């Protein structure tokens, strides 16, 4: 665990009341690097093609905005970049679904100047 | 719109919508079997400005550019949710207007004519409470209607979630839970494995960030939040089973540090079988082949790996009424199956007729 995560977790867990059954594993971080220093704005989990794992699709700020799909490793972490590309601008929200009925996850994003 | 391909790549297609689109959701608004899009535009001007607009899918992932008006709103901080609030199996809209501390409900005017639909506004808004800023929908009790959950800011370090149970076109205040963070993002998802819907909230806490999981009990009540800390206030949250153990795990976007944080959730129990109610053949979707499979199990002694999935009407027994229920949902706009549907999930063994499907399988 990164030091700042460990510090923050220790502070909050110490102050938290006794919990019921829900517990959390150690957080894992994935560094998101978009061209032009764009910031990540939204992320949605999506079924990986042909596998029982979840990938994550992340959209970014900026003009142009970008998306990146990272492969899930099945253990809570994400590995290699499956796909990436450009959107319009400021992709502030995402939705995942099978929009063309081929059994493969698609996504739609809203951008400040349109829908990509 | 970006379509996925079998080799894991994406193919984008761009549509122009109204000014300042800020939120997007999905739903089969005209019940033609294809997922449509609902988009909230908060900018003034243009045919799609200041409203939730519906863009219809032609079934091939191509959207009709002329939108259908869902519900107009002039609140620049508005958020919305999609759900079947009156139990007629047609997706409705709920628009949260923080400025007026109210929720406006757009009821989908179900018609028997394919492709024809529209919305009328429920008479009178619903009070949302001071500081309301986030909204989502899901089944927090056992009936066949989607309910609402509203998340409010109480102070710079405190928030609250409240469930509103749908009762026809009315809503009944139910569970409440307070938590020590100022909320910024919300997701509704089954997180623990008791077979009920839960939610998770991310937000600011003490100059850093935090998130909490708030368990639902299946009767509209909310349990004590379970908290974990983050180095930064998250901007976005989503949930899904990342490790296949049957619990919903969390991913959170930390914009300033340009990081995605994933957190596994444990609830101390062995994994429960995961299935989609009505998915008799375990292929992960509902169609006529599931009704055929159910009838074969009943009358031709076909084996099944998940009897609970065949109990489509969840009356605790398998009979022909389950196939009738499924066919009515598929072809006669009948009510949708009870939990777990439309997402795969689990029920506790005591409530189950039996299931052996493992988490992460085709039906999960």
Question: What tens digit of pLDDT does each residue of B10-59 get?
Answer: 788 888 888 889 999 999 998 888 999 999 999 876 666 788 999 999 99
User: What are the angstrom distances between the C-alpha of A26 and each of B228, B237, B364?
Assistant: 10, 17, 25
Residue B261 has pLDDT above 90, yes or no: yes
- Mean pLDDT for all residues in chain B: 89
Element (H, E) at B325: helix B320-331
Determine which of A12, A37, A82 to mutate to test the interface with B (most B C-beta atoms within 10 Å).
A12
Higher per-residue pLDDT: A110 or B66: A110
Tell me whether B59 touches chain A (CB under 8 Å): yes
Residue B351 has pLDDT above 70, yes or no: no
Cα B290 versus chain centre, distance: 23
Average pLDDT over residues A49-72: 90
Residue A67 has pLDDT above 90, yes or no: yes
Distance from CA of A77 to the nearest CA of B (A): 7
Residue B173 has pLDDT above 70, yes or no: yes
- Return the number of CB contacts < 8 Å for A and B: 257
Contact B228 A24 (CB under 8 A): yes
By C-alpha distance, the chain A residue nearest B9 is: A83
Tell me whether B143 touches chain A (CB under 8 Å): no
Element (H, E) at B295: helix B288-299
Higher per-residue pLDDT: B175 or A112: B175
Contact B236 A42 (CB under 8 A): yes
Q: Which residues of A touch B230 (CB under 8 A)?
A: 5, 8, 27
* Phi and psi, residue A8, nearest 5°: -65, -40
Q: Which of the four pLDDT bands, split at 50, 70 and 90, describes residue A107?
A: very high
Please answer whether residues B333 and B31 qualify as being in contact, where contact means their C-beta atoms are separated by less than 8 angstroms: yes
Distance from CA of A47 to the nearest CA of B (A): 10
Contact A8 B14 (CB under 8 A): no
Tell me whether B20 touches chain A (CB under 8 Å): yes
Model pLDDT, residue A48: 87
Average pLDDT over residues A50-55: 82
Residue B358 has pLDDT above 70, yes or no: no
Model pLDDT, residue B269: 66
Q: Parallel, antiparallel, or unpaired: how do β-strands B208-214 and B226-230 relate?
A: antiparallel
Q: What are the tens digits of pLDDT across the range B22-35?
A: 999 999 998 888 99
Please answer whether residues B213 and B191 qualify as being in contact, where contact means their C-beta atoms are separated by less than 8 angstroms: yes
Determine which of B4, B38, B57, B206 to mutate to test the interface with A (most A C-beta atoms within 10 Å).
B4
ipTM higher than the 0.95 cut: no
Residue B257 has pLDDT above 60, yes or no: yes
Going B9 to B14 to B20 to B26, the CA torsion angle's sign is negative
Q: Which residues of B touch A69 (CB under 8 A)?
A: 8, 10
N-term to C-term CA, chain B: 25
- Whether a cis peptide bond, with omega within 30° of 0, leads into B142 is no
Q: What are the tens digits of pLDDT across the range B61-74?
A: 999 876 788 888 98
Model pLDDT, residue B203: 96
Determine which of A46, A50, A88, A115 to mutate to test the interface with B (most B C-beta atoms within 10 Å).
A115
* Phi and psi, residue B28, nearest 5°: -90, 80
Model pLDDT, residue B275: 85
Q: Which of A43-57, B129-143, B285-299, B312-326 has the lowest mean pLDDT?
A: A43-57
Contact A85 B2 (CB under 8 A): yes
Model pLDDT, residue A8: 47
Contact B60 A74 (CB under 8 A): no
Residue closest to B256 by CA, chosen among B229, B234, B230, B228: B234
Beta bridge partners of B136: B149
What's this model's pTM, rounded to 2 decimal places?
A: 0.79
Q: What are the tens digits of pLDDT across the range B65-116?
A: 767 888 889 899 999 999 999 998 899 999 999 999 999 999 998 765 555 6
Q: What are the tens digits of pLDDT across the range B200-217?
A: 999 999 889 999 999 999
Model pLDDT, residue B350: 61
Q: What are the tens digits of pLDDT across the range A9-42?
A: 444 443 433 334 788 888 899 999 898 889 999 9
Residue closest to B102 by CA, chosen among B61, B69, B73, B62: B73
Q: Which of the four pLDDT bands, split at 50, 70 and 90, describes residue B129?
A: very high
Please count the residues of chain B.
364
């Amino acid at each position: 665990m990164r030091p700042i995560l460990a510090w923050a977790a220790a502070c909050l867990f110490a102050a938290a009341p006794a919990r019921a059954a829900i517990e959390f594993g150690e957080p894992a971080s994935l560094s998101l690097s978009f061209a032009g220093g764009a910031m990540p704005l939204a992320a949605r989990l999506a079924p990986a093609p042909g596998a029982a794992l979840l990938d994550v699709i992340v959209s970014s700020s900026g003009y142009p905005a970008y998306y990146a799909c990272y492969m899930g490793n099945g253990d809570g972490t994400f590995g290699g970049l499956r796909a990436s590309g450009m959107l319009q601008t400021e992709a502030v929200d995402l939705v995942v679904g099978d929009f063309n009925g081929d059994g493969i996850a698609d996504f739609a994003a809203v951008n400040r100047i349109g829908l990509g | 719109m970006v379509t996925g391909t079998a080799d894991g790549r994406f193919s984008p297609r761009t549509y122009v919508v109204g000014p300042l689109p800020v939120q997007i959701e999905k739903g089969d608004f005209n019940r033609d079997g294809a997922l449509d899009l609902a988009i909230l535009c908060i900018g003034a001007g243009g045919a799609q400005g200041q409203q939730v607009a519906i863009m219809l899918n032609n079934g091939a992932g191509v959207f009709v550019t002329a939108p259908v008006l869902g519900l107009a709103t002039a609140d620049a901080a508005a958020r919305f949710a999609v759900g079947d609030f009156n139990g007629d199996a047609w997706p409705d809209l709920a628009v949260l207007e923080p400025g007026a501390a109210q929720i406006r409900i757009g009821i989908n005017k179900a018609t028997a004519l394919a492709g024809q639909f529209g919305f009328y506004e429920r008479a009178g808004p619903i009070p949302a409470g001071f500081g309301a800023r986030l909204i989502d929908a899901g089944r927090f009790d056992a009936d066949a209607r989607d309910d609402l959950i509203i998340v409010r800011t109480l102070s710079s370090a405190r928030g609250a979630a409240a469930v509103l149970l749908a009762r026809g076109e009315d809503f009944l205040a139910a569970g409440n839970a307070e938590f020590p963070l100022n909320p910024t993002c919300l997701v509704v998802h089954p997180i623990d494995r008791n077979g009920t819907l839960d939610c998770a909230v991310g937000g600011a806490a003490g100059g850093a960030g935090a998130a909490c999981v708030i368990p639902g009990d299946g009767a509209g009540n909310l349990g004590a939040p379970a908290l974990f800390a983050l180095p930064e206030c998250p901007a976005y949250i989503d949930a899904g089973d990342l490790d296949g153990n049957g619990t919903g795990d969390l991913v959170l976007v930390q914009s300033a540090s340009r990081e995605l944080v994933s957190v596994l959730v444990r609830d101390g129990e062995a994994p429960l079988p995961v299935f989609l109610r009505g998915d008799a053949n375990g292929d992960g979707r509902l169609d006529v082949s599931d009704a055929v499979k159910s009838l074969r199990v009943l009358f031709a002694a076909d084996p099944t790996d998940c009897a609970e999935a065949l109990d489509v009407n969840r009356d605790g027994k398998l009979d022909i009424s389950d196939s009738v229920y499924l066919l009515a949902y598929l072809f006669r706009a009948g009510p949708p199956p009870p939990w777990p549907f439309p997402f795969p999930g689990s029920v506790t063994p005591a409530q189950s007729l039996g299931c052996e499907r493992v988490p992460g399988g085709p039906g999960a």
